[in-house]
Amino acid sequence: MSIRVVEEKCNGCRLCVRACPFGEISLEGKLAVIGDGCNLCGACVPACKFGAIEMQIERAREIDLSQYSGVWVVAEQKNGRLQSVTHELLGVGKELADRRGVQLSAILIGHGIADAAAELVARGADNVYVVDSPEFEHYQDEPYSRVLSRLINTWKPEIVLAGATATGRSLVPRVAVMVRTGLTADCTGLSIGDDGLLLQTRPAFGGNIMATILTPRHRPQMATVRHKVMRAVPADRSRKGNVISVEVRESDRFCRARILGFVEEEEKTVNIAEADVIVSGGRGLQSPENFALVEELALALGGAIGASRAAVDAGWIPYSHQVGQTGKTVQPKLYVACGISGAIQHLVGMQSSDIIVAINKDPYAPIFQVATYGIVGDLFQVIPTMITKLRQR
């Protein structure tokens, strides 16, 4: 496994230096040198017009991919109610299944979940595999990952999708390792390539670049998707599907951890990820007292309150309101960004909003690149004016 510069063919033209997205290639004299931090992305190989860069990929042992068929969605439920990220996964899952000419199945683990199973059929699942037992009432890492791994090894799906929620991000990485396969987290794009492989696209480097990832030689191809990235499928009660009850084995129940309780967040807030309108505040508000302007504007627009990382780190508002790469991804009809410069890590969390309004005194703030409408001005004048006018109607 290696990459090397073929000395005789390299003439120091620097095409590879320019092609490397990570800046790992430099010139020593007239010879290109690949640095220590090279992660073998391969961008330089086609960039060199002289064939002076060679990359060799040795293949590990092959598994029989033809045995794997079908698209699965791991449904997420809380207290017997499906989480809406599941409906979004069923939407993209259906597209993938149709393209592959295979069935779409949902895996439902919990207790008292018969209604949820019926809803999964209404949302597009051809089959629903139900694992219903008291021990599975609340999500726990070990039993859920054991059951899911066992089902994957038994029924051999070619693609498994799950929500990138707190649960999903604990469960799916465990399962991927147990089943010895590849997992791509937080995908923003999923499609089938010409060769039938799942193309998994996601942001990396804090959202500065996008990467398309394949799992060419292992199965299933696993991916997680954040809430509000894909569009949900509406329910169609006339749809028919198979609901299959899965027998629980003793080994599935193995669990070393214990849940002692759950403490709800003190503040009663709208879960911003579900809101149609979000008004967000950032560093431009300058103080926690001023942040009240954001709250008043949100109230006047009938929306929820969001925040950039700067506002959360400054302690003006709890983390549950944070929008961005390390916060929530939102997709409201209207997103108003107040005093937010628009660092890429924030944009990644809200740029799919239908209409984006930006208010900032800096005309060069990156937020204006994604805004549908912008006001360049002093937010301490603009926002109170907006609130007054909205209240007048």
345 makes contact with another protein (CB under 8 A): yes
Taking alpha carbons only, the member of 357, 358, 360 closest to residue 377 is 360
Contacts of 230 (CB under 8 A, 6+ apart): 88, 89, 91, 92, 190
Of 125 and 223, which CB lies nearer to another protein in the complex structure? 223
Q: Which two tokens stand for residue 246?
A: 């899965």
Closest-CA residue to 313 (of 345, 272, 268, 350): 345
- The interface region with another protein, picked from 106-114, 121-129, 171-179, 234-242 by CB under 8 A, is 171-179
CB of 151 to another protein, least distance (A): 17
- The residues in 315-334 that bind another protein, with binding defined as CB under 8 A, are 319-320, 325-326, 333-334
Contacting residue, 7, 8, 263, 364, with another protein by CB under 8 A: 263
**Are 356 and 335 spatial neighbours (Cβ–Cβ below 8 Å)?**
yes
Are 360 and 340 a contacting pair, CB within 8 Å? yes
Closest contact distance (angstroms) between CB of 77 and another protein is 14
CB 19 within 8 A of CB 43: yes
Single out the residue of 161, 153, 42, 41 nearest to residue 91, CA to CA: 161
CB of 121 to another protein, least distance (A): 26
DSSP at 322: B
Q: Which one, 1 or 8, has the nearer CB to another protein?
A: 1
Choose the binding region for another protein from 87-95, 114-122, 152-160, 162-170 (rule: CB under 8 A): 162-170
Residues from 181 through 220 that contact another protein (CB under 8 A)? 181-186, 199, 202-218
User: How many chain residues interact with another protein (CB under 8 A)?
Assistant: 103
**Contact string 125-154 vs another protein (x = CB under 8 A):** ----------------xx--x---------
Supply the minimum distance, in Å, between the C-beta of residue 160 and another protein. Answer: 13
CB 366 within 8 A of CB 347: yes
Does the protein bind another protein through residue 299 (CB under 8 A)? no
Write the single-letter amino acid at 326.
T
Instruction: Assess 244 for contact with another protein (CB under 8 A).
Output: no
| Identity at 356, one-letter amino acid code | I
Q: In angstroms, what is the minimal distance from the CB of 82 to another protein? A: 15
Residue tagged 């309108």 (tokens): 277
Separation of alpha carbons 315 and 47, rounded Å? 47
The CA-CA-CA angle for residues 111, 113, 118, to 5°, reads: 165
Task: Tell me: does residue 258 bind another protein (CB under 8 A).
Answer: yes
Of 89-97, 110-118, 282-290, 369-377, the window that binds another protein (rule: CB under 8 A) is 369-377
Please identify, using beta-carbon distances, which residue of 121 and 273 lies nearer to another protein: 273
Direct distance between the N- and C-terminal alpha carbons of the chain, in angstroms, rounded to an integer: 68
Please identify, using beta-carbon distances, which residue of 247 and 265 lies nearer to another protein: 265
Q: Under a CB-based contact definition with an 8 Å cutoff, are residues 158 and 66 in contact?
A: no
Q: Under rule CB under 8 A, which residues in 52-111 are in contact with another protein?
A: 57-61
Amino acid type, 114: A
Shortest approach of another protein to residue 242 CB, angstroms? 30
Q: Is 20 in the site for another protein (CB under 8 A)?
A: yes
CB of residue 39 to another protein, shortest distance in Å: 6
Residue 296 makes contact with another protein by CB under 8 A = no
Amino acid making up residue 8? E
Least distance to another protein, CB of residue 284, Å: 15
Q: How far is the CB of 234 from another protein (least distance, A)?
A: 21
> What residues from 266 to 285 belong to the interface with another protein (CB under 8 A)?
271, 277
In the window 224-243, what residues touch another protein (CB under 8 A)?
none
HEC string for 358-387? EEECCCCCCHHHHCCEEEECCHHHHHHHHH
